[in-house]
Chains A and B, each alone.
Chain A
Amino acid sequence: DVKVTQSSRYLVKRTGEKVFLECVQDMDHENMFWYRQDPGLGLRLIYFSYDVKMKEKGDIPEGYSVSREKKERFSLILESASTNQTSMYLCASSSPSLRGGGNENIQYFGAGTRLSVL
């Protein structure tokens, strides 16, 4: 079974803090994604990565950055957390290769990190 692990289930930070959200997948997937989930807005893509050190902006990248130094790990960084970044953050991975699942469009999600910025 594919496992996507997010380091924290709940996180409380103060405005202006630098925040790191970590995600690790164990299936050697090439693609990794960060979403935020807000009621009534669905899942919105923040950033994604298709290879180590490669990243592309999603639909709402402002205020966020990412890092992918190793294939299995994808980090989301809030350089200076603000209250409007209070949300549920979901990480996902996928692979185009048969070994990794065979369908690049099937995304496997972690359980999420609920971040509160006070």
Chain B
Amino acid sequence: GENVEQHPSTLSVQEGDSAVIKCTYSDSASNYFPWYKQELGKGPQLIIDIRSNVGEKKDQRIAVTLNKTAKHFSLHITETQPEDSAVYFCAASMDGTSYGKLTFGQGTILTVHP
């Protein structure tokens, strides 16, 4: 089955800096890669996703890049703010199969210091 590795496990940045979280996946058949953000006391919530036919996707201060050849994808957050502090999870899936099952990475605790 699919295996997703996520690094780093913790990330501490100053407000205004950029943050990058990286994930690798094992199954070359995976073609959908979402990122979820979990704030304290809440469940994870989708913040951005990318499909394998696209190399990069942006939404305001967040962006995701995908390298299919190397089987890795990354989340980039620019101009970080204290409200970006949360746990971030990457995931991988084969779109259109397996009832939408996702395989998640281990999570990254991001702390943005004011």
Q: Are B43 and A4 in contact (CB under 8 A)?
A: yes
Total residues of chain B contacting the partner, CB 8 A:
27
Q: Are B34 and A111 in contact (CB under 8 A)?
A: no
Q: Which single member of B41, B95, B102, B105 contacts A107 (CB below 8 Å)?
A: B102
Q: With a CB–CB cut-off of 8 A, which chain B residues contact A48? A: 99, 101
Which residues of B77-114 are within 8 A (CB) of A? 89, 93, 95-96, 99-107
Which residues of B2-31 are within 8 A (CB) of A? 4, 6, 9
Q: Are B42 and A94 in contact (CB under 8 A)?
A: no
Contact bitstring A36-64, B, C-beta under 8 A = 1, else 0: 00001111110010100000101100000
Complex Cα gap A41–B9 (Å)? 10
Q: Are B34 and A106 in contact (CB under 8 A)?
A: yes
CB distance from B89 to the nearest CB of A (A): 6
Complex Cα gap A4–B32 (Å)? 23
Known: A105-B93, A105-B95. A42 touches B100 (CB 8 A): no
Nearest A residue to B42 via CB reads A111
Total residues of chain A contacting the partner, CB 8 A:
28
Which among B4, B95, B100, B105 has the greatest number of chain A C-beta atoms within 10 A?
B100
Q: Are B43 and A111 in contact (CB under 8 A)?
A: yes
Complex Cα gap A31–B102 (Å)? 12
Q: Are A31 and B99 in contact (CB under 8 A)?
A: yes
Q: Are A107 and B100 in contact (CB under 8 A)?
A: yes
Q: Are A105 and B102 in contact (CB under 8 A)?
A: yes
Q: Which single member of A4, A30, A43, A110 contacts B104 (CB below 8 Å)?
A: A43
- Listed by A's residue number, 12 A-B pairs whose Cβ atoms lie within 8 Å are A30-B99, A31-B99, A31-B100, A43-B104, A96-B99, A104-B95, A105-B32, A105-B95, A106-B49, A106-B100, A107-B44, A111-B41
Q: Which residues from chain A sit less than 8 Å from chain B, CB to CB?
A: 4, 30-31, 33, 35, 40-45, 48, 50, 56, 58-59, 90, 92, 94, 96, 104-107, 109-112
